[in-house]
Amino acid sequence: MDGMTYLTVAYLGMIAGIAIWTWTVVNRSRAIESRLAAVEANLNISASEADSISKEQAE
Domain boundaries, the chain: 24-59
One-letter amino acid for residue 43 of the chain: L
| Contacts for 58 with CB less than 8 Å, ≥ 6 apart | 48
Q: Burial level of 50, CB count in 10 A (0-12/13-18/19+)?
A: middle
Q: pTM for this one?
A: 0.62
40 Rama sector, left if φ>0, alpha if ψ -120 to 50, beta otherwise:
alpha
Contact call for residues 48 and 54 (beta carbons, < 8 A)? yes
* pLDDT tens-digit map of 7-39: 999 999 999 999 999 999 999 999 999 998 888
